[in-house]
């Protein structure tokens, strides 16, 4: 349980840093008048480069030679999930909140996708936690 919990805690710490990078770039570019799709793409790319190194070394300790290509595929998928989430959310909230909501959705989904498909490691599951019955 402790190893799985540590992995998830490291993931969320690295993810928080990546989210700050991506959201910071996104907000700056949005403020400068860039369309949200381009601002999201550039924010994501800026976080992707640092994120892969941090995830590979600190979180999943991966050794796959093809992991970066898989990581790019997951990141690309998350871009489209992010854009769709923002498209829907912008109908009921301001664009900055919509961007933050989309980032949270993508952070949670990308943990499971990266763990399973990119780095191929086992992570925490509900069965691994001591829950009172």
Structure tokens at 78: 């998350």
CB within 8 Å of 114: residues ≥ 6 apart: 55, 60, 71, 74
Structure tokens at 56: 């590979």
Per-residue pLDDT tens over the stretch 23-76: 899 999 999 999 988 998 899 888 888 888 888 888 877 666 678 888 889 988
The mean pLDDT value for 14-21 works out to: 85
Give the distance, in angstroms, between the CA of residue 53 and the centroid of all CA atoms in the same chain. 13
Rounded CA separation 39/36 (Å): 5
Asked whether the whole model's pTM tops 0.85, one would answer no
Rounded CA separation 113/78 (Å): 10
Give the distance, in angstroms, between the CA of residue 97 and the centroid of all CA atoms in the same chain. 17
Residue in 111, 119, 110 with CA at minimum distance from that of residue 67: 119
Q: Where are the domains of the chain?
A: 2-124
Does residue 89 have a pLDDT over 90? yes
Give the HSE-up count for residue 75: Cα atoms under 13 Å, Cβ half-sphere.
24
Instruction: Give the pLDDT score at 130.
Output: 36
Does residue 119 have a pLDDT over 60? yes
Dihedral sign of CA atoms 38, 42, 48, 51 in order: negative
Residue 65 DSSP code: T
């Amino acid at each position: 349980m402790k190893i799985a919990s540590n992995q998830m805690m490291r993931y969320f710490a690295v993810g928080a840093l990546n989210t700050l990078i991506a959201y910071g770039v996104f907000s700056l570019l949005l403020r400068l008048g860039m369309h949200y799709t381009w601002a999201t793409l550039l924010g994501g790319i800026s976080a992707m480069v640092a994120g892969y190194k941090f995830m590979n070394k600190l979180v999943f300790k991966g050794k796959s030679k093809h992991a970066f290509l898989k990581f790019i595929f997951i990141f690309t998928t998350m871009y489209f999930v992010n854009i769709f989430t923002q498209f829907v959310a912008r109908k009921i909230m301001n664009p900055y909140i919509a961007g933050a909501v989309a980032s949270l959705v993508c952070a949670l989904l990308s943990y499971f996708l990266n763990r399973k498909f990119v780095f191929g490691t086992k992570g925490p599951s509900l069965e691994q936690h001591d829950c009172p019955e």
